[in-house]
Copies of this chain bind each other. A is one copy, B any other.
Amino acid sequence: MDEPLNLVLFSGTDDKLQAAAVLAAGAAALGRPVNVFLQYWALDAFRTARIGRDHGLAPEAGPEGRAHVVALASAGQQPWAEILRQAKEIGSVDIQACSLSMDLLAIEQSDLDPLVDGVEGVTAFYLSAGAGQIVFV
């Protein structure tokens, strides 16, 4: 598989961001290029001032799901931002902010965590994605 894995991150809750980070890290571990495109509430979660915050969980998690997530974090599970950081060290993981979402949320690139490599439009994303799988999270 030479085609990249392409992740469009839309959701801003920690469970989906964690699932996405694991998908990115797994593909990077297999030597596949990974392109991440940040939209809406996922982009918001990559602000330097917010990336370490609690971003909540999907509504169906409920108190029991929340308790599991808290327990695993206490036991030393890496947060999603750290998993992405490590994925960038072992492989080719490019993280781009969607320019339309930047406008929507009135974000400047300097507001974003250094994990984010740049800002691009959706057509640039498609050109990077090529024929690789696109996963919308």
- A residues adjacent to B (C-beta < 8 A): 1, 3, 5, 8, 10-13, 15-16, 19, 22-23, 25-27, 29-30, 32, 39-41, 44, 55-56, 58-61, 65, 68-69, 72, 77, 100, 103-106, 121-123, 125-127, 129-137
A123 touches B19 (CB 8 A): no
15 A-B residue pairings within 8 Å (CB atoms): A8-B23, A8-B135, A11-B60, A15-B40, A29-B123, A30-B127, A32-B126, A40-B65, A41-B61, A41-B65, A44-B65, A56-B59, A59-B59, A77-B104, A132-B133
Query: Which of chain B's residues have a CB closer than 8 A to the CB of A13?
Result: 60
- Candidate in A16, A19, A130, A137 with the most chain B CB atoms within 10 angstroms: A19
Pick the contact of A134: B12, B60, B135 (CB < 8 A).
B135
The 6 A-B pairs at the shortest CB distance, nearest first, are namely A26-B122, A133-B134, A12-B60, A135-B136, A41-B60, A26-B123
B30 touches A126 (CB 8 A): yes
Q: How far is the CA of A125 from the CA of B54 in the complex (A)?
A: 29
Query: Which of chain B's residues have a CB closer than 8 A to the CB of A15?
Result: 10, 40-41
Q: How far is the CA of A56 from the CA of B106 in the complex (A)?
A: 20
**Given A19-B10, A68-B104: A41 and B26 within 8 A (CB)?**
no
